[in-house]
Chains A and B, each alone.
Chain A
Amino acid sequence: MSYVIDRRLNGKNKSTVNRQRFLRRYRDHIKKAVEEAVSRRSIMDMEHGEQISIPGRDIDEPVLHHGRGGKQTIVHPGNKEFTAGEHIARPQGGGGGGGRGKAGNSGDGMDDFVFQITQEEFLEFMFEDLELPNLVKRHITGADTFKNVRAGVASEGNPSRINIVRTLRSAHARRIALTGSSRALLREAQKELERLRVEEPDNFTDIQEVEQEIVRLKARINRLPFLDTFDLKYNLLIKQPNPSSKAVMFCLMDVSGSMTQATKDIAKRFFILLYLFLKRNYDRIEVVFIRHHTSAREVDEEEFFYSRETGGTIVSSALKLMQEIMAERYPASDWNIYAAQASDGDNWNDDSPICRDILTKQIMPHVQYYTYVEITPREHQALWYEYERIGDAFPDTFAQQQLVSAGDIYPVFRELFQRRLAT
Chain B
Amino acid sequence: MTARAQRRQPISTGSEWTFELIQNYDREIGRLAERYALDTYPNQIEVITAEQMMDAYASVGMPLGYHHWSYGKQFLSTEKSYTRGQMGLAYEIVINSDPCIAYLMEENTMCMQALVIAHACYGHNSFFKGNYLFRTWTDASSIIDYLVFAKQYIAQCEERHGIDAVEDLIDSCHALMNYGVDRYKRPYPISAEEERRRQKDREEHLQRQINDLWRTIPKSAEKGSDRDDARFPAEPQENILYFIEKNAPLLEPWQREVVRIVRKIAQYFYPQRQTQVMNEGWATFWHYTLMNDLYDEGLITEGFMMEFLQSHTSVVFQPGFDSPYYSGINPYALGFAMYTDIRRICEHPTEEDRRWFPDIAGSDWLATLKFAMSSFKDESFILQYLSPKVMRDLKLFSILDDDQRDDLLVPAIHDEAGYRVIREQLAAQYNLGNREPNVQIWSVDRRGDRSLTLRHQQHNRKPLGDSTEEVLKHLHRLWGFDIHLETVQGDKVMKTHHMPPRGDHAEGADYGRMDLAVVHHL
Stretch at the interface among A91-99, A161-169, A176-184, A209-217: A91-99
User: How far does the alpha carbon of A71 sit from the alpha carbon of B328 in the complex, in Å?
Assistant: 18
In the complex the two chains form, is B47's CB within 8 Å of A7's CB?
A: yes
Stretch at the interface among A15-23, A140-148, A226-234, A316-324: A15-23
In the complex the two chains form, is A7's CB within 8 Å of B52's CB?
A: yes
Q: Does B48 contact A (CB under 8 A)?
A: yes
What number of residue pairs across chains A and B have CB atoms under 8 A from each other? 281
Q: Does A68 contact B (CB under 8 A)?
A: yes
> Nearest residue in A to B402 (C-beta to C-beta)?
A71
In the complex the two chains form, is B398's CB within 8 Å of A76's CB?
A: yes
Given A82-B397, A101-B327, CB of A19 within 8 Å of CB of B75: yes
In the complex the two chains form, is A63's CB within 8 Å of B178's CB?
A: yes
Q: Does B326 contact A (CB under 8 A)?
A: yes
**Could you tell me the distance in whole angstroms from the C-beta of B121 to the nearest C-beta in chain A?**
7
> Nearest residue in A to B106 (C-beta to C-beta)?
A8
Contacts of A74 in B (CB 8 A): 398-399, 401, 425, 429
**Could you tell me the distance in whole angstroms from the C-beta of B364 to the nearest C-beta in chain A?**
28
User: How far does the alpha carbon of A6 sit from the alpha carbon of B407 in the complex, in Å?
Assistant: 58
- Chain B CB count within 10 A is highest, among A64, A67, A80, A90, for A64
User: How far does the alpha carbon of A385 sit from the alpha carbon of B344 in the complex, in Å?
Assistant: 96
Q: Does A422 contact B (CB under 8 A)?
A: no
In the complex the two chains form, is B463's CB within 8 Å of A75's CB?
A: no
Q: Does A40 contact B (CB under 8 A)?
A: no
In the complex the two chains form, is B45's CB within 8 Å of A3's CB?
A: yes
Our pick among B42, B51, B329, B426 for the contact of A2 (Cβ within 8 Å) is B42
In the complex the two chains form, is B322's CB within 8 Å of A97's CB?
A: yes
Q: Does B118 contact A (CB under 8 A)?
A: no
Q: Does B70 contact A (CB under 8 A)?
A: yes
Interface residue ranges of B355-402 to A (CB < 8 Å): 394-402
Contacts of B152 in A (CB 8 A): none
> Nearest residue in B to A51 (C-beta to C-beta)?
B80
Contacts of B468 in A (CB 8 A): 62, 64
In the complex the two chains form, is B465's CB within 8 Å of A66's CB?
A: yes
**Could you tell me the distance in whole angstroms from the C-beta of A128 to the nearest C-beta in chain B?**
19
Our pick among B72, B103, B121, B327 for the contact of A23 (Cβ within 8 Å) is B72
Chain B window 34-55, contacts with chain A (Cβ cutoff 8 Å), 1 for yes, 0 for no: 0000000011111111011011
In the complex the two chains form, is A64's CB within 8 Å of B437's CB?
A: yes
Q: Does A333 contact B (CB under 8 A)?
A: no
In the complex the two chains form, is B71's CB within 8 Å of A18's CB?
A: yes
Interface residues of chain B: helix, strand, loop or mixed (majority): mixed
User: How far does the alpha carbon of A25 sit from the alpha carbon of B77 in the complex, in Å?
Assistant: 16
Chain A window 272-308, contacts with chain B (Cβ cutoff 8 Å), 1 for yes, 0 for no: 0000000000000000000000000000000000000
Q: Does A420 contact B (CB under 8 A)?
A: no
Our pick among B43, B58, B178, B320 for the contact of A15 (Cβ within 8 Å) is B58
- Chain A CB count within 10 A is highest, among B326, B436, B459, for B326
In the complex the two chains form, is B72's CB within 8 Å of A20's CB?
A: yes
Task: Count how many chain B residues have C-beta atoms less than 8 Å from C-beta atoms of the other chain.
Answer: 103
Our pick among B70, B121, B414, B462 for the contact of A66 (Cβ within 8 Å) is B462
In the complex the two chains form, is B470's CB within 8 Å of A62's CB?
A: yes
In the complex the two chains form, is A65's CB within 8 Å of B467's CB?
A: yes
In the complex the two chains form, is A75's CB within 8 Å of B396's CB?
A: yes
User: How far does the alpha carbon of A77 sit from the alpha carbon of B413 in the complex, in Å?
Assistant: 10
Q: Does B189 contact A (CB under 8 A)?
A: no
Our pick among B71, B319, B425, B470 for the contact of A75 (Cβ within 8 Å) is B425
In the complex the two chains form, is A85's CB within 8 Å of B67's CB?
A: no
**Could you tell me the distance in whole angstroms from the C-beta of B38 to the nearest C-beta in chain A?**
13
Interface residue ranges of A104-118 to B (CB < 8 Å): 105-106, 113-116
> Nearest residue in B to A66 (C-beta to C-beta)?
B462
Stretch at the interface among B18-26, B203-211, B229-237, B277-285: B18-26
Contacts of A70 in B (CB 8 A): 402-403, 458-463
Given A97-B326, A113-B77, CB of A90 within 8 Å of CB of B55: no
In the complex the two chains form, is B322's CB within 8 Å of A78's CB?
A: yes
Our pick among B73, B322, B398, B461 for the contact of A22 (Cβ within 8 Å) is B73
Interface residue ranges of A149-206 to B (CB < 8 Å): none
Contacts of B461 in A (CB 8 A): 69-71
In the complex the two chains form, is B121's CB within 8 Å of A2's CB?
A: yes
Q: Does A423 contact B (CB under 8 A)?
A: no
Interface residue ranges of B252-280 to A (CB < 8 Å): none
In the complex the two chains form, is B58's CB within 8 Å of A63's CB?
A: no
Contacts of A84 in B (CB 8 A): 410-413, 415, 417-418
**Could you tell me the distance in whole angstroms from the C-beta of B423 to the nearest C-beta in chain A?**
9
User: How far does the alpha carbon of A61 sit from the alpha carbon of B167 in the complex, in Å?
Assistant: 13
Contacts of A106 in B (CB 8 A): 465
Q: Does A395 contact B (CB under 8 A)?
A: no
Contacts of A79 in B (CB 8 A): 321, 395-397, 413-414
Q: Does A225 contact B (CB under 8 A)?
A: no
Q: Does A418 contact B (CB under 8 A)?
A: no
In the complex the two chains form, is A21's CB within 8 Å of B175's CB?
A: no
Chain B window 7-34, contacts with chain A (Cβ cutoff 8 Å), 1 for yes, 0 for no: 0000000000001001100110010000
Q: Does A24 contact B (CB under 8 A)?
A: yes
**Could you tell me the distance in whole angstroms from the C-beta of B27 to the nearest C-beta in chain A?**
8
Q: Does A4 contact B (CB under 8 A)?
A: yes
In the complex the two chains form, is B467's CB within 8 Å of A21's CB?
A: no
In the complex the two chains form, is B72's CB within 8 Å of A2's CB?
A: no
- Chain A CB count within 10 A is highest, among B51, B167, B321, B326, for B321
**Could you tell me the distance in whole angstroms from the C-beta of B74 to the nearest C-beta in chain A?**
8
Contacts of A134 in B (CB 8 A): none
Contacts of B425 in A (CB 8 A): 73-75
Contacts of A98 in B (CB 8 A): 321-322, 399, 408
Our pick among A2, A62, A72, A80 for the contact of B471 (Cβ within 8 Å) is A62
Contacts beyond the supplied A14-B59, A98-B321: 15 A-B pairs with Cβ under 8 Å: A5-B45, A7-B48, A15-B72, A22-B75, A24-B69, A66-B463, A67-B466, A70-B459, A74-B429, A76-B399, A78-B323, A84-B412, A88-B410, A90-B406, A96-B323
Interface residues of A (CB under 8 A from B): 1-8, 11-15, 17-25, 59-80, 82-90, 96-101, 105-106, 113-116
Interface residues of B (CB under 8 A from A): 19, 22-23, 26-27, 30, 42-49, 51-52, 54-55, 58-59, 64, 67-73, 75-77, 79-80, 83, 99, 103, 106, 121, 163, 167, 171, 174-179, 318-324, 326-329, 394-403, 406-415, 417-418, 422, 425-426, 428-429, 435-437, 439, 458-468, 470-471, 474
A-B contact pairs, 8 of them (CB 8 A): A2-B44, A22-B70, A64-B176, A66-B436, A66-B465, A73-B429, A78-B321, A96-B324
Which 10 pairs show the lowest CB-CB distances between chains A and B? A78-B320, A22-B72, A70-B462, A62-B470, A62-B467, A18-B72, A99-B399, A70-B461, A76-B321, A115-B76
